[in-house]
């Protein structure tokens, strides 16, 4: 896919269907409960109805896409562990043994491990979307070429299209890649025009010294590459990872295919931010799940204009926060589809008082 082809494709993203949103809102208002009593659970269903153009959405079939990639910046000592852990976790994802796999089983959600580009041979059981065996160290130059970033974005869009063909109606996002809180903080720093120290956390548990190395590496990467915040594809190529670029494509694919995409934490939030900077109308497909404890997570949510359903200090990754929110979708739809109406209950409807 070329840059022009991507631009042409994204022209097909239409505005949200406000008639479907209004119909969903009217249905909530007809149910025998206080108006807006379920808060964000109500607006979440209304937003999904507007995205899908259907005031009676169904989210029975769902999956979590877990995009895995290695990051060259790990060479700068920005993580407790080396890149071999990315492969180990991907292998265990294919065996359905990781944290998100156990949570997904409880939430009746399929798990789709995806290899976006890790070192070594392909992992059996993972969807092969390999762009390259990991990115370059961005402290010496771009993490990837613009063509590689476009390839990863195209792969993310294709993943959504494949899931839609298989009947999936709701997608959660996850990722795995040692060093990817570093790449996410770097991309967010540029796009939000904030200093790296304001957005960078300890990831999987760095010491004070390790955190300073991480911040310094991001500062060097930005200085070396001089990315332009007005060029989100360039920022992604200079400082991002194949997982973030692929997830950017997943959010764009959700907007193109009218499938809700549930954001996980900081890393997938940065990917969503890239998608919305590339195509503002794609915001309609982005659904927040939780407020990650990573320092930059709330800033990304604010930039996207999204509010989390869950605040539990989660920062595990893999899509665990996104999957943790899925039972809330089920409970919202249980009320939406099954609660009795004011008319059925012989109760005078509530009316707005202000």
Classified as helix, coil or strand, 261 is: strand
Residue 18 contacts by C-beta under 8 Å, 6 or more apart in sequence?
50
Which tens digits make up the pLDDT trace of 181-229? 999 999 999 999 999 999 887 777 778 787 899 999 999 999 999 999 9
Classified as helix, coil or strand, 151 is: helix
103 HSE (CA, 13 A, CB side): 19
- From the centroid of its chain, how far is CA 88? 22
Phi and psi at residue 260, in whole multiples of 5°?
-60, 135
Q: Quick one: angle between helices 180-191 and 297-304, nearest 10?
A: 50
Residue indicated by tokens 């589809």: 337
DSSP 55-85: SS----SEEEEEEEE--GGGGGS-SSS-THH
DSSP bridge partners of 64: 111, 172
Say if residues 178 and 135 touch (Cβ distance below 8 Å): no
pTM > 0.85: yes
State both tokens at 301. 């949510």
Residue among 153, 124, 155, 148 nearest 134 (CA): 148
CA distance 158 to 224: 32
CA distance 161 to 272: 17
Which tens digits make up the pLDDT trace of 23-41? 999 999 999 999 999 999 9
CA distance 133 to 237: 15
Residuewise pLDDT in 10s, the chain (354 residues): 899 999 999 999 999 999 999 999 999 999 999 999 999 999 999 999 999 999 999 999 999 999 999 999 999 999 888 889 999 999 999 999 999 999 999 999 999 999 999 999 999 999 999 999 999 999 999 999 999 999 999 999 999 999 999 999 999 999 999 999 999 999 999 999 999 999 887 777 778 787 899 999 999 999 999 999 999 999 999 999 999 999 999 999 999 999 999 999 999 999 999 999 999 999 999 999 999 988 899 999 999 999 999 999 999 999 999 999 999 999 999 999 999 999 998 999 888 876
Say if residues 192 and 199 touch (Cβ distance below 8 Å): yes
Residue indicated by tokens 């010496």: 140
* All structural domains of the chain: 62-333 (3.40.50.10210)
Catalytic residue among 46, 209, 318, 344: 318
What percent of the chain has pLDDT above 90? 90
CA distance 43 to 51: 12
Q: Is 18 designated active site?
A: no
Rg (CA), the chain: 20
Say if residues 154 and 148 touch (Cβ distance below 8 Å): no
CA distance 90 to 83: 11
Phi and psi at residue 136, in whole multiples of 5°?
-80, 165
pLDDT of 354 reads: 67
Which tens digits make up the pLDDT trace of 161-177? 999 999 999 999 999 99
Residue 164 contacts by C-beta under 8 Å, 6 or more apart in sequence?
257, 259
pLDDT of 206 reads: 78
């Amino acid at each position: 896919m070329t840059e022009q082809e991507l631009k042409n494709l994204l022209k097909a993203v239409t505005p949200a269907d406000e008639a479907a949103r209004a119909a969903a809102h009217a249905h909530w208002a007809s149910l025998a409960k206080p108006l807006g009593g379920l808060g964000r659970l109500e607006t979440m269903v209304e937003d999904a109805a507007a995205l899908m153009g259907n005031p009676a959405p169904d989210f029975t079939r769902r999956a979590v896409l877990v995009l895995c990639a290695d990051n060259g910046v790990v060479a700068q000592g920005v993580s407790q562990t080396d890149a071999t852990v990315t492969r180990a976790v991907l292998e265990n994802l294919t065996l359905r043994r990781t944290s998100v796999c156990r949570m997904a089983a409880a939430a009746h959600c399929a798990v789709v491990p995806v290899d976006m580009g890790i070192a070594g041979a392909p992992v059996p059981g993972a969807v092969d979307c390999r762009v390259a065996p990991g990115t370059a160290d961005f402290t010496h130059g771009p993490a990837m070429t613009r063509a590689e970033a476009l390839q990863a974005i195209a792969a993310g869009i294709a993943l959504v299209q494949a899931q839609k063909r298989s009947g999936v109606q709701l997608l959660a996002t996850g990722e795995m890649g040692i060093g990817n809180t570093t790449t996410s903080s770097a991309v967010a720093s540029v796009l939000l025009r904030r200093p790296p120290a304001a957005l960078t956390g300890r990831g999987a548990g760095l010491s004070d010294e390790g955190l300073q190395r991480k911040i310094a590496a991001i500062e060097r990467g930005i200085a070396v590459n001089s990315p332009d915040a007005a060029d989100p594809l360039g920022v992604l190529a200079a400082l991002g990872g194949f997982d973030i670029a692929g997830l950017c494509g997943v959010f764009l694919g959700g907007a193109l295919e009218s499938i809700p995409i549930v954001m996980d934490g900081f890393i997938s939030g940065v990917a969503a931010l890239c998608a919305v900077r590339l195509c503002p109308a794609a915001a309609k497909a982005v659904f927040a799940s939780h407020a990650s404890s990573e320092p930059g997570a709330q800033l990304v949510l604010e930039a996207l204009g999204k509010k989390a359903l869950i605040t539990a200090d989660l920062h595990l990754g893999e899509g665990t926060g996104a999957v943790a929110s899925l039972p809330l979708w089920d409970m919202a739809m249980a009320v939406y589809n099954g609660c009795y109406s004011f008319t059925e209950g012989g109760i005078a409807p509530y009316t707005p008082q202000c």
